Structure formats: C-alpha cells, structure tokens
Amino acid sequence: MIEATAQSALDAVLAGQPHAIVERDGVRYTLLGTAHVSLASVEAVRDAIDSGAFDAVAVELDPQRLQALTDPDALARLDLVQVIRTGKTALFAANLALAAYQRRLAEQLGIEPGAELKRAVLEARQRELPVHLIDRDVGLTFKRANNRLGWWSRAKLGGGLMAALFVDEEVGADEIEKLKQGDMLESSFGEFASDSPELYETVIAERDRYMAARLRETHGDAREVLAVVGAGHLQGLARHLKDEVRAPDTIREELESLPKKSDVPWFTILLAVFVLGGFAWGFWRGGIDVGSDLLLQWVLATGVLGAIGCAIAGGHPLSILVAFVASPITPLHPALASGTLSALTEAWIRKPTYADFMALRDDVQSWRGWWRNRVARVLLNFFLTSLGTAIGVWTGGLRMLGKLVG
C-alpha cells in the first residue's frame, strides 16, 4: 500500500490530469493520460514519480522511439547500406517523416513532442525504478497498417508521409488540439487516419490491446505501477487492462504477427513470363527484325525512364548507368530492383558522412536540402529510380502488347 504522505502527494497531481486506476492480480496500475505537446504533462509526470508512490514506471514507447528521444546521435550510427540491402528503405523514410513532423511541432510550440515520456524514463532511472517500454515497435505498426490497406489507400498513405518530408509549414491549430487529446502516430498520419477505419484500428485500437498485455506481462514484483500514455489511449487501455481474460503473451504475439507472404512470387513470375514470352513470340512470328525491335523498345522504355528518375535525384553518373542497366531486368527478380541497386551504388560512391546524418532532420525541411544531403539524396535515388522504372515497365509492356496484337 502507498504511504499516506505519498498518496496525498499523488492525489494532488492526479486531480488536474486525465487518469484511470485499474487493480488486477494484486497490482494497482495508475494510468496517467498526457498530451504529447504539453509542459503541464511533463510537470505532472515528474511530480507523480517524485511522489514516491510507485515502484515501477511504464511508458508508451518502444526501444526505437526511446532511442530517438534520448540519443540524438543514434541516427549518425545508422548503416544506410544495410538499410537498403534489407529492404527497409521505405520504413526508414516513414520514420524520417515522423521525425520531420515532430521537428516542426517542436519549433512551433517550443516543446519536444513526447517530452513527458522522455521525462518519465529519466525520472524513473534517477530513482532507480524499473522502466517498462510497453508500446509496439513502430516498424511493426507501419507494416500491419500497410497490410490492412488497399492499394489506393497505401498510395494515399505513402503520399501523405512523403508530403510530411517535403512540406515545411506550421501545424494547424485544430491538429494541435487533436494531438493534445490523441496520439502522436495518429496525428502524424493527418486526416487520413480519421477517414480510414483500418488505419485507426492498427494505429490506435490494436496498440491499446498491446499495451494492456505488455503491462500485465512486465510488472514483475511491482505492486504500484505508473503507466504514462497519451490521453487518446487512456479509455481503451483501461478497458482492456480490466476486462481482457486471454493470456497476455498470446495477445502480444497475435498483434506482433504479420501475414505470411506466399513463397511463390506470383506477380514477378507472371510479369517475367509476359516479358520473356513477348520477346519469344516476337522473334518467332516476326523474325529478327520484330523481336529486336521489341527488345530495343523495352530496354529504352524502362532503362531511360529509370535513368531519368535517378538523374532527377542527382545521382552520380555511375548510379545513373546502374539504373539504366538494371531497369529492364527489374521485373525478372526483386533482388535486381533498379531503385535498390542504384541507391546502393550512390551510397557506396558518395558515402554519407556523420555530418550528413546529423543535418538530415534539418535538411529535409527544404527542397534544396534533399539534394544537398547525401542521406536524403540516396532516398530520392531509391524512390525516383523505382518510380521511373515502374512507369517504364507499364509503358514498355503496353507497347509490347500493342505490337503483339497489332
């Protein structure tokens, strides 16, 4: 039980803050709802921990987001080549978009978004209290959200994230008010989140269930646990923490799983069959002249447009050459993707420096900064080369189809 003095101090803190108290399995969880852009929330977190009422602290963070808050230099230690090789370029760009959005908020409001979560971790460590990170990995959340959306919704979401990288305007008053009552990830997606039940389910509702399960899993020997979460999660988290009867590890594993992809890349196979079959049909029906013409048109349509995309991104001449060579064979195998190969070449020739990584968040706030910063330029290389190749594949494919049926 909390001592009377500590309880009195805690009551004074909670009186002016959204909160909920849930008792379960001999543990009392005090859920403190915060606004991610409020100095009052930072002070409430500090005072709640300083009351001495708790023997463990849980926060709405995952290891990656905690590192971003407490270790600004972590970005400079990133292996960009490894990011590209492992197919995490899009995820890296999404995280960068989130960071850019948070940066604009910090500059506009004079407070770092998530400052109250950072304060909870620092205060708990100073008091040598156990700290539990209860939120789901942000990468998993992005992937599960992406898997639930149709292709048009994915395109809108991707466009919104890319816009967050390029747009340098003040965050609107309405959006700030929503953020005070809601969730950082939800606000980062903008209005699209409110228009997409699938996105809301993944970004908000699933995380309520996940954090409730994590609280039940990680409390250890603690009997008084303070959980610092965004106000938008308060009601859902309290409900799941109180009423959920399934084992927490079962819930967590369910919400961490991703749909298993087919071992057979049907789309790649069908596209390769169409391209190679088209060449074979052209040589068989029209001889060398028709077959050679089909092959030349395919190489020019895909290679030239892929190279143009790379050139627009400011790619090195060798990166442009790699884009030109790789684009015609991109449909044959994912490992031969022109965007990946040209971006790897760019990162190898113009290796990003420590200064590039440190300046990244500032540079992506302006158009010129994207081409000046070597990290940002590698990302541009990947996306614009891939876009150029995709347009080339459709253009070349339609031309080939026209020749074959004509």
CA distances from 400 to 210, 321, 397, 405 (A): 50, 24, 5, 9
| Coil/strand/helix, residue 134 | coil
Range with the lowest mean pLDDT among 98-112, 130-144, 314-328?
Answer: 98-112
In our burial notation (b when 16+ CB lie closer than 10 A, e otherwise), range 37-71 reads: bbeebbebbbbbbebbbbbbbbbbbbeebbebbee
H/E segment holding residue 132: strand 131-133
Cα–Cα distance measured from residue 329 to residue 335, given in angstroms and rounded to the nearest whole number: 10
Asked whether residue 13 carries a pLDDT value surpassing 90, the answer given is no
Arithmetic mean of pLDDT, 112-134: 91
Arithmetic mean of pLDDT, 55-77: 83
Task: Identify each DSSP E strand in 148-290 by its residue range.
Answer: 224-230
Residue 258 per-residue DSSP state: -
Neighbouring CB atoms inside 10 A of 317's CB total 10
Per-residue model confidence (pLDDT) at position 197: 67
The chain-wide mean pLDDT, for the chain, equals 81
228: which strand partners? Answer: 32, 59
| C-alpha neighbours within 13 Å on the C-beta side of residue 390 | 8
Asked whether residue 326 carries a pLDDT value surpassing 90, the answer given is yes
Asked whether residue 224 carries a pLDDT value surpassing 90, the answer given is yes
Cα–Cα distance measured from residue 343 to residue 405, given in angstroms and rounded to the nearest whole number: 37
The pLDDT-based confidence of 27 (bands split at 50, 70, 90) is: very high
Per-residue model confidence (pLDDT) at position 378: 92
With pLDDT > 70 as the criterion, what percentage of the chain qualifies?
78
Arithmetic mean of pLDDT, 86-111: 71
Per-residue model confidence (pLDDT) at position 152: 63
| 102-111 confidence digits (pLDDT tens) | 666 666 766 7
More confident residue, 18 or 191: 18
Dihedral sign computed on CA atoms, order 263, 266, 271, 275: positive
Asked whether residue 318 carries a pLDDT value surpassing 90, the answer given is yes
Range with the lowest mean pLDDT among 147-151, 226-230, 387-391?
Answer: 147-151
| 241-286 confidence digits (pLDDT tens) | 999 999 999 999 999 998 776 565 666 677 777 777 777 777 787 6
Among residues 200, 177, 171, 226, which one has the least CA distance to residue 55?
226
The pLDDT-based confidence of 288 (bands split at 50, 70, 90) is: confident
Asked whether residue 169 carries a pLDDT value surpassing 70, the answer given is no
Per-residue model confidence (pLDDT) at position 170: 58
Query: For residue 165, what are the contacts with CB-CB under 8 A and spacing of at least 6?
Result: 93, 96, 97, 100, 364
Asked whether residue 1 carries a pLDDT value surpassing 60, the answer given is no
Task: Identify each DSSP E strand in 196-347 by its residue range.
Answer: 224-230
Strand order in the sheet with 224-230: 19-24, 27-34, 224-230, 56-59, 131-133
CA distances from 289 to 281, 282, 295 (A): 12, 9, 10
Per-residue model confidence (pLDDT) at position 293: 79
Identify whether the C-beta of residue 167 lies closer than 8 Å to the C-beta of residue 220: no
Asked whether residue 230 carries a pLDDT value surpassing 70, the answer given is yes
**Domain boundary assignment for the chain:** 4-256, 266-405
Per-residue model confidence (pLDDT) at position 109: 67
Count of residues making up the chain: 406
Per-residue model confidence (pLDDT) at position 226: 95
57: which strand partners? Answer: 131, 226
Among residues 182, 188, 196, 185, which one has the least CA distance to residue 160?
188
H/E segment holding residue 231: none
34: which strand partners? Answer: 230
| 356-365 confidence digits (pLDDT tens) | 887 877 787 7
Identify whether the C-beta of residue 84 lies closer than 8 Å to the C-beta of residue 50: no
The pLDDT-based confidence of 191 (bands split at 50, 70, 90) is: very low
The pLDDT-based confidence of 132 (bands split at 50, 70, 90) is: very high
Arithmetic mean of pLDDT, 26-33: 92
Tokens of 17: 């803050």
The pLDDT-based confidence of 171 (bands split at 50, 70, 90) is: low
The residue written with tokens 């699938």 in the block is 198
In our burial notation (b when 16+ CB lie closer than 10 A, e otherwise), range 370-400 reads: beebbbbbbbbbbbbbbbbbbbbbebbbebb
CA distances from 309 to 12, 245, 257, 337, 373 (A): 60, 53, 35, 14, 18
